[in-house]
Amino acid sequence: MTATMTGKIAVVTGGSSGIGQAACLRFAQAGATVVLAARRAKEGEETAQMIRESGGQAVFVQTDVANSTDVTTLFKTCLERYGRLDYACNNAGIEGTIVPLAEYSEADWDQVIAVNLKGVWLCLKEEIQIMRQQGGGAIVNVSSVGGLIGFPGLGPYIATKHALLGLTKTAVLEYTTDNIRINAVCPGLIDTDLADRFTGGAESEAEQFLMSLKPMGRRGTSAEVAEAIVWLCSDAASYVTGHSMVIDGGLMTI
Ligand SMILES: NC(=O)c1ccc[n+]([C@@H]2O[C@H](COP(=O)([O-])OP(=O)(O)OC[C@H]3O[C@@H](n4cnc5c(N)ncnc54)[C@H](OP(=O)(O)O)[C@@H]3O)[C@@H](O)[C@H]2O)c1
């Protein structure tokens, strides 16, 4: 990390596990105070506790990002406690059921869109309003290599991850003059619960196939993605906006 974030405030959604938890820990390591959101209270509180035990500051706010009232409460809590918002990582996401498009149920479709797309938009709305008023900030949306390519069985997930890149670019065109930088990250297969649910685990056929396509031949770690998220938010990335950063062990070279 090339810049200190001491005195800065970061909101991370989906901070109860995986990439979001790693981002919370990395922001805190850089000196930022972390406001983390997720639905699972026990796991969310654990992330906050990990940060506090290592000398940082963090608060967990139980939030369903698909619920606009919850999202409003999240940012209200952030402002009431800390008075500002410098960085945001819109990371919460679900893979949905894994079936071909024509077999997708409407309820499952709606759920993936609600969390992965509407949830990010609801958060962006709040983040942008706060950052405009205070004179700037930096936001990272967590897309996926699934935002760049198709993948069988993951129709709505793939659609939302593509959409996030469009949302990111449009937000840049609308709010760069407000001194807000907005980027996206596109991770490949990262070692989290979601990856296990998706492939069926490290020994599964799907995993072996994906690994055969990756020049690095391994899953990435949440910490490797968190490093990029925090760098994109930092002043070290002051001329970087509208970028979709691929962090995939070389998968997209195929
Ligand atoms: N792992 C990969 O291979 C990979 C690759 C590319 C992109 N990604 C993206 O990375 C992000 C994080 O995924 P992960 O791999 O770290 O998986 P994960 O461990 O399952 O984390 C997902 C996080 O999202 C939160 N979440 C889900 N639905 C939510 C909701 N409605 N409201 C608030 N929080 C919600 C979960 O918390 P609660 O359950 O407590 O709500 C959890 O903290 C996702 O957007 C995913 O699409 C992952």
pLDDT in tens, 140-154: 999 999 999 999 999
Q: What ligand 1 atom has the least distance to the C-alpha of 15?
A: 43
Please check whether residue 191 is in contact with residue 148, taking contact to mean a CB–CB distance below 8 angstroms: no
**Which pLDDT score is estimated for 2?**
43
Q: Which residues, including other chains, have CB under 8 Å from residue 12's CB and lie 6 or more apart? A: 20, 23, 24, 27, 34, 35, 36, 37, 88, 89, 91
Q: Supply the residue whose CA is at minimum distance from atom 32 of ligand 1.
A: 64
Report residue 226: phi and psi, to 5°. -60, -35
**Which pLDDT score is estimated for 15?**
98
Residue 91 pLDDT greater than 60, yes or no = yes
**Which pLDDT score is estimated for 1?**
47
**Contact 195 CB / ligand 1 (< 6 Å):** yes
Instruction: Tell me the pTM.
Output: 0.98
pLDDT in tens, 171-192: 999 999 999 999 999 999 999 9
Q: What ligand 1 atom has the least distance to the C-alpha of 157?
A: 47
CA–CA distances in Å: residue 253 to residues 84, 149, 157: 40, 12, 22
As a whole number of Å, the CA-based R_g of the chain is 17
pLDDT in tens, 224-243: 999 999 999 999 999 999 99
Extract the tokens encoding 50: 């990990």
Neighbours of 113 (CB within 10 A): 18
Report the percent of the chain where pLDDT is more than 70: 99
Residue 245 pLDDT greater than 90, yes or no = yes
Residue 3 pLDDT greater than 90, yes or no = no
Report all structural domains of the chain as residue ranges with CATH numbers, in order of start. 9-247 (3.40.50.720)
Average pLDDT of the residues in 26-52: 98
pLDDT band at residue 46 using 50, 70 and 90 as cut-offs: very high
Ligand 1, residues 19, 111, 185, 189: which to mutate, most atoms within 8 A of Cβ?
19
* Low-confidence winner among 161-165, 202-206, 236-240 (lowest mean pLDDT): 202-206
**Contact 156 CB / ligand 1 (< 6 Å):** no
Residue 129 pLDDT greater than 50, yes or no = yes
CA–CA distances in Å: residue 16 to residues 19, 50, 97, 125, 173: 9, 11, 21, 22, 32
Ligand 1, residues 194, 204, 244: which to mutate, most atoms within 8 A of Cβ?
194
Q: 175 an active-site residue? A: no
